[in-house]
C-alpha cells in the first residue's frame, strides 16, 4: 500500500500500533487529512470534539480519532477529487483571521493531548507540529510570524526534518529579509 495524497509525505508500509500512530500523526509523518483514512465508526462514537475553525481542522480530528482507534487504514487509490480555488482560504492563508483559525485548531489539539496526559510524552512531536504549522500554514508578515509559537524559532532551524531551503526560508523570515524569503517559501 502507498500514500496517495499528499505526495510530499513518505509512504508508510508498516502497521503502526495505536501509540506509534498517534505519535506519527502529531509529528507529521502521517498527514492529518481525513480524505485518505479508513476509520471505524466506533472511533467517532467514543467522542470527537469538532473544531469551529475551518483551516487545519483535520489536525485535531485525526489525532482524536487515532487516540480512539485500535486500528487505522488507508486506500491506495484516489476516490476523492479536490478542486483548488484561487479565492479559497487554503489558497492564500495570509490574514490574521486565517492565522487565528490555524492556532485555534492547534490549541484544540494541544488541549486534547493535555486532557489525556499525553503532552509530556509527545512533547518533541508537538514541537515539530508547531514548527510545521507555523512554517507551512502561516505565511504571515515578520512581526506576526514571530509572535506565533515563539518557542519554536530556534527549533525550526535545528530540526533536520525541514529541508535546507525551508530552514533558510524561516531564517530570512526571522531576519525580515522579505525579498529573499519569498525565494525559499513553500508556496
| Distance, C-alpha 141 to centroid of its chain | 20
160 phi and psi angles, rounded to 5 deg: -65, -15
Q: What is the pLDDT of residue 137?
A: 64
Q: What is the pLDDT of residue 10?
A: 41
Residue with cell 506509534: 20
pLDDT tens digits, one per residue of 40-57: 889 899 999 999 887 788
Q: What is the pLDDT of residue 8?
A: 37
Mean pLDDT of 156-174: 83
Distance of alpha carbon 102 from alpha carbon 95, whole angstroms? 11
Q: What is the pLDDT of residue 16?
A: 60
Helix axes 96-115, 58-68, angle to 10 degrees: 10
Q: What is the pLDDT of residue 6?
A: 37
Return the C-alpha cell found at 93.
492563508
Distance of alpha carbon 33 from alpha carbon 60, whole angstroms? 10
pLDDT tens digits, one per residue of 114-160: 999 999 999 888 988 888 777 666 667 778 878 888 888 888 888 88
Distance of alpha carbon 76 from alpha carbon 179, whole angstroms? 40
In this prediction the pTM is: 0.75
Mean pLDDT of 28-32: 81
| Distance, C-alpha 148 to centroid of its chain | 15
Which of the 8 DSSP states describes residue 17? P
Amino acid at each position: 500500500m502507498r500514500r496517495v495524497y499528499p505526495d510530499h509525505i513518505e509512504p508508510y508500509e508498516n502497521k503502526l500500533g495505536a501509540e506509534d500512530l498517534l505519535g506519527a500523526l502529531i509529528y507529521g509523518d502521517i498527514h492529518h487529512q481525513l480524505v485518505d483514512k479508513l476509520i471505524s465508526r466506533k472511533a467517532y462514537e467514543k467522542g470527537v470534539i469538532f473544531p469551529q475553525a475551518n483551516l487545519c481542522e483535520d489536525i485535531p480530528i485525526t489525532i482524536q480519532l487515532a487516540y480512539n482507534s485500535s486500528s487505522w487504514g488507508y486506500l491506495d487509490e484516489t476516490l476523492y477529487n479536490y478542486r483548488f480555488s484561487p479565492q479559497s482560504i487554503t489558497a492564500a492563508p495570509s490574514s490574521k483571521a486565517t492565522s487565528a483559525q490555524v492556532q485555534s485548531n492547534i490549541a484544540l489539539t494541544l488541549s486534547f493531548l493535555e486532557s489525556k496526559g499525553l503532552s509530556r510524552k509527545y512533547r518533541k512531536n508537538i514541537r515539530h507540529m508547531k514548527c510545521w504549522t507555523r512554517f507551512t500554514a502561516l505565511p504571515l508578515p515578520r512581526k506576526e510570524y514571530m509572535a506565533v509559537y515563539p518557542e519554536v524559532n530556534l527549533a525550526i532551524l535545528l530540526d533536520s526534518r525541514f529541508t535546507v531551503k525551508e530552514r533558510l526560508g524561516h531564517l530570512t523570515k526571522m531576519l525580515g529579509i522579505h525579498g529573499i524569503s519569498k525565494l525559499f517559501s513553500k508556496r
